[in-house]
Structure 1
């Protein structure tokens, strides 16, 4: 298969405008569409400045809404979760078409198969306007995940739907959501399904000194011989947390772990760099100690982990298979039980 020509990827560092103060969907939805219109203009302007070979744009985590701060699951789903065929995705498709880019981002999303719940979803929209990849965050401290409804989720979407990879004209793309960059098994599962460019939407605490997430970004690129495009928010407006807490360090990292570009504080298009999938493929096929993917003793890891469990699966599935809608205390109580069990077993 011929490799795509080199192109530019942009991690667009843009401000998130939270909708927590919106009373209901009638108040929040117009603001979300306005945010898409604003981001669409930023993409178009950035592409005019940087160059027409910008073909891939990554947006920050929950860039349309912010995150829930005490709302019930039902209230947050009502005012912040996107319908899979809703007007917000249609507007994102129009933005991708207008700029002729693959557009990746992260949002809360409702799924009719799982009433009463929402997922945090990362997506890729093609220049045609079609959603070509939809990944639901698997590890989250305060939100439902596919692992919480595992049997039903896999029966609907299959295991490949849990770790999706989109084979596109830009190479094979996959998404990692926010804090999941700290979990090496997620990136490894995607790389072993062929992912070449990892798209990381984040809204993270940034600092002039090194942070765990920024260490992990370089580690995931090195471990998996993959490019990584990571977009952080340029702060969050509309909540009491100081705006610039989640700001800066959007970046592009190559398959050797080298930071090719990085943004400072504030809204910025500075984090753009060339993606050369052909070079990546040559590197992956090169024998030697550095070819980490080819040297993985996967059967050894499977045997080492067999029978071990930390967070249990299916905790939002009732005895009769019904979906359970969690209250806010559910997640902290579940984590406490896991910590207590791991302590009793002498693991921690």
Structure 2
């Protein structure tokens, strides 16, 4: 954890819903980087205007998933790494750090990122930059259908970063922050492992379909908040442009859910700063200290489940440790997992 003792008991958070300008059609790395910096400059203006409207007690802003680049559309891992992935100390982080410093905010987002420890791969990374401009949290997405994850290089990743690097929690002036990437809201184990390490606010950068009916992801957001007695600040894209996919396919529904599972702010479609609300840390901490039926976090009996997890092997680790990997790897590995689970009788054909 990163420590900061200048604590706030109450502040405003914003799930900023902005358009993603994809870089897939960029001709080379240089033009892609120019597009990213344009996006950052546009964000700076939107953040400044949002804070002017909400007030200077807006101390946390969460941006959507892959807000600078969009996602790969058939590009090989090598091509996407060259075109769209940030360096850990690159100029894009530098520009975002200046925004956080200028406005005195914690700025959270999600990007594809290179790691010198894994030169043939990239990771989808959630980050938090503090008001001093420092990256105080860096979480690599653990569950992904079409991108490398730490689990795919598991043994080596643990050697490099340890368990706290897999499930990082940043202890800050605005509470204990943790990140969830996109569909990981559907995996209760991820948020639970973060809650075990003290997480109080889940920062959820996503790019997902918005629907007037309750979607699985929206149901999961409420559930993750209730079962962990934690806030969920979920920021969705306001559509993705510069791709063949219809722009508004992933547009709308950014929201903030409190530790009781109550949606306290939500916006519909389009670019919007309407999803802002108070984060009442004092109330959250009081409820976590209060004995009773609703204190679910204190009632967890993890020993009941540990052996089942230890004995079960579904999607395999370490499948990307060696050699060049193409995108067929992801679907073929999943298919092999399904076939093995059928043979074991876990699922039925």
Q: Is the counterpart of residue 20 in structure 1 residue 24 in structure 2?
A: yes
What corresponds to 1:328 in structure 2?
327
How far the C-alpha of 1:325 sits from its partner, in A, is 3.3
CA distance in 2, matches of 1:159, 1:263: 36
What corresponds to 2:158 in structure 1?
154
What corresponds to 1:117 in structure 2?
121
Deviates more, 1:297-306 or 1:218-227: 297-306
Q: Is the counterpart of residue 57 in structure 1 residue 56 in structure 2?
A: no
The correspondence of residues 136-155 of structure 1 with structure 2, limited to 5 A, is 136-155=140-159
How far the C-alpha of 1:304 sits from its partner, in A, is 2.1
CA RMSD, Structure 1 to Structure 2 (Å): 1.0
CA distance in 1, matches of 2:18, 2:7: 31
How far the C-alpha of 1:293 sits from its partner, in A, is 0.9
What corresponds to 1:340 in structure 2?
339
Residues 262 and 271 in structure 1, CA contact (< 8 A), matched pair in contact too = yes
CA distance in 1, matches of 2:310, 2:320: 23
**Tell me, what secondary structure is at the counterpart of 1:306?**
helix
Q: Is the counterpart of residue 172 in structure 1 residue 176 in structure 2?
A: yes
Q: Is the counterpart of residue 100 in structure 1 residue 104 in structure 2?
A: yes
CA distance in 2, matches of 1:154, 1:216: 28
* Residues 55-109 of structure 1: per-residue CA shift (max 9 Å, x gap): 0000000000000000000000001000000000000101111111100000000
Residues 7 and 172 in structure 2, CA contact (< 8 A), matched pair in contact too = no
The correspondence of residues 167-206 of structure 1 with structure 2, limited to 5 A, is 167-206=171-210
CA distance in 2, matches of 1:107, 1:135: 11
CA distance in 1, matches of 2:246, 2:162: 41
Q: Which 5+ residue runs of structure 1 have no aligned equivalent?
A: 319-323
CA distance in 2, matches of 1:26, 1:223: 45
How far the C-alpha of 1:24 sits from its partner, in A, is 1.5
Residues 123 and 131 in structure 1, CA contact (< 8 A), matched pair in contact too = yes
TM-score, length basis structure 2 = 0.97
How far the C-alpha of 1:327 sits from its partner, in A, is 0.3
CA distance in 2, matches of 1:6, 1:129: 22
Residues 174 and 190 in structure 1, CA contact (< 8 A), matched pair in contact too = yes
**Tell me, what secondary structure is at the counterpart of 1:65?**
coil
**Tell me, what secondary structure is at the counterpart of 2:156?**
helix
CA distance in 2, matches of 1:281, 1:5: 9
Residues 61 and 106 in structure 1, CA contact (< 8 A), matched pair in contact too = yes
How far the C-alpha of 1:5 sits from its partner, in A, is 2.7
CA distance in 1, matches of 2:271, 2:132: 27
The correspondence for 2:34, drawn from 5, 30, 33, is: 30
Q: Is the counterpart of residue 69 in structure 1 residue 73 in structure 2?
A: yes
* Residues 30-68 of structure 1: per-residue CA shift (max 9 Å, x gap): 110110111111011000011111000000000000000
Residues 3 and 277 in structure 1, CA contact (< 8 A), matched pair in contact too = no
TM-score, length basis structure 1 = 0.97
